[in-house]
Structure formats: structure tokens, C-alpha cells
Amino acid sequence: MKLTIPDGYKPMLDPVQTERAIKMVKDFFQANLSAEMRLRRVTAPLFVLRDTGINDDLNGTERAVNFPIKDMDDNVAEVVHSLAKWKRITLGKLDIPLGYGLYTDMNAIRADEELTNIHSLYVDQWDWEIVMSNEQRKLDFLKLTVNRLYDVLKRTEYQIFEEYRELEPQLPKNITFLHTEELLEMYPDKTPFEREMAAAEKYGAIFIIGIGSVMLNGEKHDGRAPDYDDWSTETVNGFKGLNGDIVIWNPILKRAFEISSMGIRVDKTALLKQLDIEKMEDRKELLFHKMLLNDKLPLTCGGGIGQSRLCMYFLRKAHIGEVQASLWPDEMVEECEKNKIFLM
């Protein structure tokens, strides 16, 4: 059981206050996200058909929860992992213009998740996607987008502080951009996660560029599926990647805390290159991939922002189960109760 019990932990909000504050975080953040990024809210699916290429593979190893559909000749549906590809298809269907986009409430089940303070079987996030031009497929545009999202995070944190004065703002004024190669150079003797820990503690909020690409030491900082984020395009100084993670320092758990994975999505060139790198060329025959290769999908930038992760951070909770209802091992529930961590 991987459970962290912070020394002297005591919830700053009681259960009733917590429920009210969760709603405040979610209402305020999504309204400001929509306004800042010019996003239209749409309704999202809980599941999609298998073998269409629409579901996301995340790191490429997670199994999707699935079931046969009786009234559709037992064709198999999969509960979504996230909606990166579905959003891109939907942007095309709705004919949303350049510079505008959509967001949605994404609910998922990740059965292979290792249950910890920050990982749950149930995933809830805001999935967002905007239409961009080919000229915008650059690192500067990605950084601009990250800064806009970070501004929404800062505004949300202050709004919560206005209502609950004990929840003092912790986010730094600016987010720091670091490439995986720069982290490797800064901390050559550490593992990727240890590098994130050290950098997040030093800067408070970082955006790690190039998740999924192989670094100069022959390793990946972390895995990414080859068919949604563009992690193979060279950017500055020969470094690769037009994607990344927003990672902040969690003062309660005293650890790096990822709240968003995002990036500029693959175009035809990047898709073919990344499928070749990962030896997954057979995916070119799937519905989504055929649409992209036949110029039937817009160029986009997008990502996901963890709802429960944000609530956990802003409300200074020690366990994600304090802000969402899920299932946990009995021994974890018992140990949490002993230490004033009350899981929903």
C-alpha cells in the first residue's frame, strides 16, 4: 500500500465546507477557463467503440475497461481514458473556427491505476482543445497557452482564498519552463521523478517540455502514446517536443504534483514519424488516423486538467479521496481514518 501520511495533518475544512468548496473550485475554474481560452462547453461520451483509434492509450500500456453491446452485435465499447482524439474529431464536426475551441467534463475509469494519495480508479478532468494554424505549431505558442492556463489557476486560487482565509495562496507568480533535457542536465544522477521533485520544489510551478521523446541519454522522461501529442518535432537547440506537463509543488504532501498533461497535437508528419518510432504503423488503418492522414481533422492544441487534483491542491487535502468518491483498499481507509484523513 503506497500511502503518505503528512506529519500533523489536520483538514483545514470540515466535510460540509469541503463539499461547498469543491463546487466553488469547479464552477469558478471552468467559467474562467472557457472565457480565457474561448472554449465552448460540449457533452462528452463515457465510452467509445474499440478499434476506431479514438480512445487514448496514455502511456501506451493501460488497459481500457470494456464491455460488449448487446444491440450492436456485441461490438465492444471501451470506457474512455481521455478525450484527446474525440475532441479533435468533434472540433471538425462543429466547424469551430481558428482560435476557438471546446471543453468538456471527462469522466473515466482507469482500472490499472496504482491507488495512492493522488491516484484513483476514477478520473475526472476538464478536457479542452482549440483550433490552431500551421504557423502556430511552435514552442512559443505552446508557452503562451500554458501561461494563459496558469493565469486561470492563479485566479482560482485567489478566489478560494477570498472565501476561506485559512487557504493562503501558494502558487508562484510565474510558471517556469524546463525541457526534459534541461532537467537531465540539472540533475544527472536522479531519476525522472526525482528531477521533477527537485525542480518543482525549487520553482513552485513548472512546465516540463518534451514528454515522450527519447533524451540524449537514450531514455524517456516518461511515456506518451504516439498519436495525439507531438513529442518528436524539434524545437529550440535541437530539443524535441511540443507538449508537456504542468507540475506544481504540493505543500501538504511535499512532492511534485502533476495537474495537467497537454500539447500541440500531431500533424500528418509527426503522426507518421511517431508511429514509426514506436513500431505502431498498423494504426494508420484505424478511423481516427485515416481522418488525420486524409486532412479531415483540424490542427489543434489541447490537454486535460485534473478536477479532483485541483480541488485537492487548492483545499490543501492529503488524499484525493477527500474530494472525490471512489473505491479504496480497506487497509488504506482504516489507516487514513486513524490520521484524520476522511475518504468520501
Active-site positions read 56, 110, 125, 245, 258, 261
33 membership: H or E segment, kind and range:
helix 15-37
Length reported for the chain: 344
Quickly list DSSP for 126-187: EEEEEE--GGG-SHHHHHHHHHHHHHHHHHHHHHHHHH-TTS-----SSPEEEEHHHHHHH-
CA distance 241 to 180: 9
Q: What are phi and psi of 220, to 5 degrees?
A: -100, 145
Q: What angle do CA 175, 26, 96 make, to 5 degrees?
A: 80
The β-bridge partners of 126 are 105, 305
CA distance 243 to 265: 8
Q: How far, in whole angstroms, is CA 68 from its chain's centroid?
A: 28
Q: Closest Cα partner for 265 from 94, 127, 160, 150? A: 127
Tell me how far apart the terminal alpha carbons of the chain are, to the nearest angstrom.
19
Q: Using DSSP bridges, classify how beta strands 66-69 and 176-179 pair: parallel, antiparallel or unpaired.
A: unpaired
Q: What is the DSSP letter of 282?
A: G
Burial of 259 (0-12, 13-18, 19+ CB in 10 A): buried
